[in-house]
């Protein structure tokens, strides 16, 4: 039988991909929200400028205060390490990360990598290494060796910034309650409360849970960082995508 005819029936079956009306509508609502946010003036650069001034002031004061400096040299407790990671993870969008990702994607658009070898060359570019450095500088101190790379590769770190990008929504960590497992003291399951605020000042809250397993070979470093099944991470992504539905 001629190959093209032989598979026609199966190809025909493959055309029939089910898509629910609800999913179709939700995607449209999320898209509409993004489009409306794009049409409105972007006040995020002003926030960034203010944030830079605030951080510079904070650093200046910190360096003037020797006792604080000495204190910062002390190793962080497990709870402090976990909180530091959560503060970065649940404060967003991280505009610097998004800028670096845009640079990287722009480079890929301009450079046609025809095969894996050419793509490997792209991975040596400044645009790509800048992203890797940013990951390392942001989170490197908190994870044991190899763990961060694995989290990056599986999109388990900075996992909400892509969703927040151009959404007009800011996410903030409101509260963390870090629970240590009684029988397994290296396991911590923090209960995390975050807020989402849109550019009209509407605010919603979301509570979720994650899991941290501290390394046994490298004390004070995280050996595993996991979402908890049904912990609420996916729901948070949905709330970002469909903010208007939840804010009403």
How many residues contact other proteins, by CB under 8 A? 35
Binding mask 188-227 for other proteins (x = CB under 8 A): ----------------------------------------
Verify binding: residue 11, other proteins, rule CB under 8 A. yes
Nearest residue to 41 (alpha-carbon basis) of 195, 200, 193: 200
Nearer to other proteins, 7 or 205 (CB): 7
Q: Is 124 one of the binding residues for other proteins (CB under 8 A)?
A: no
Residue 28 CA to residue 22 CA, distance in Å, equals 10
Closer CB to other proteins, residue 165 or residue 211?
165
By CB under 8 A, tell whether 109 contacts other proteins.
Answer: yes
List, as one string, the DSSP characters of 72-89.
HHSPPPHHHHHHHHHHHH
Residue 14 binds other proteins (CB under 8 A): yes
Rounded Cα distance between 148 and 223, Å, is 9
Tokens standing for 129?
A: 């290494």
First to last CA, the chain: 59
SS3 percent helix, strand, coil of the chain, rounded to 5, is 55, 15, 30
> What DSSP state is assigned to residue 196?
E
For other proteins, the closer of residues 144 and 242 by Cβ is 242
Residue corresponding to tokens 């989170």: 139
Select 154 or 217, whichever has its Cβ closest to other proteins. Answer: 154
Give the separation between CA 245 and CA 33, rounded to whole angstroms. Answer: 10
Extract the tokens encoding 173.
């960590």
CB of 4 to other proteins, least distance (A): 6
- Nearer residue to other proteins within complex by CB, 78 or 167: 167
The enclosing H or E element of 202 equals: none
Q: What is the DSSP letter of 74?
A: S
Task: Point out which span in 150-158, 169-177, 184-192, 212-220 binds other proteins (CB under 8 A).
Answer: 150-158
Q: Does 151 bind other proteins (CB under 8 A)?
A: no
The nearest distance, CB 42 to other proteins, in angstroms, is 14
Q: Of 23, 53, 55, 228, which one interacts with other proteins (CB under 8 A)?
A: 23
Residues engaged in binding other proteins (CB under 8 A): 3-4, 6-8, 10-11, 13-19, 23-24, 26-28, 30-32, 34-35, 38, 105, 108-109, 112, 153-155, 166, 234, 241
């Amino acid at each position: 039988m001629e190959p093209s005819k032989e598979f026609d029936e199966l190809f025909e079956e493959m055309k029939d991909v089910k898509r629910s009306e609800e999913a179709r509508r939700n995607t449209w609502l999320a898209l509409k929200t993004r489009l409306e946010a794009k049409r409105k003036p972007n006040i995020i650069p002003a926030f960034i400028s203010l944030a830079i001034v605030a951080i510079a002031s904070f650093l200046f004061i910190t360096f003037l205060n020797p006792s604080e400096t000495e204190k910062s040299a002390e190793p962080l407790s497990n709870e402090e390490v976990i909180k530091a990671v959560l503060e970065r993870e649940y404060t967003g969008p991280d505009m610097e990360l998004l800028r670096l990702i845009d640079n990287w994607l722009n480079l890929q658009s301009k450079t046609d990598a025809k095969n894996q070898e050419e793509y490997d060359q792209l991975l040596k570019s400044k645009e790509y290494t800048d992203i890797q450095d940013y990951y390392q500088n942001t989170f490197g101190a908190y994870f044991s060796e190899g763990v961060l790379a694995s989290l990056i590769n599986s999109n388990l770190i900075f996992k909400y910034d892509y969703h927040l990008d151009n959404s007009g929504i800011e996410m903030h960590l409101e509260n963390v309650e870090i629970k240590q497992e009684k029988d397994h003291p290296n396991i911590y399951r923090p209960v995390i409360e975050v807020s989402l605020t849109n550019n009209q000042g509407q605010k919603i809250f979301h509570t979720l849970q994650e899991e941290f397993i501290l390394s046994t070979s490298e004390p004070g470093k995280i050996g595993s960082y996991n979402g908890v099944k049904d912990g609420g991470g996916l729901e948070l992504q949905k709330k970002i995508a469909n903010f208007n539905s939840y804010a009403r």
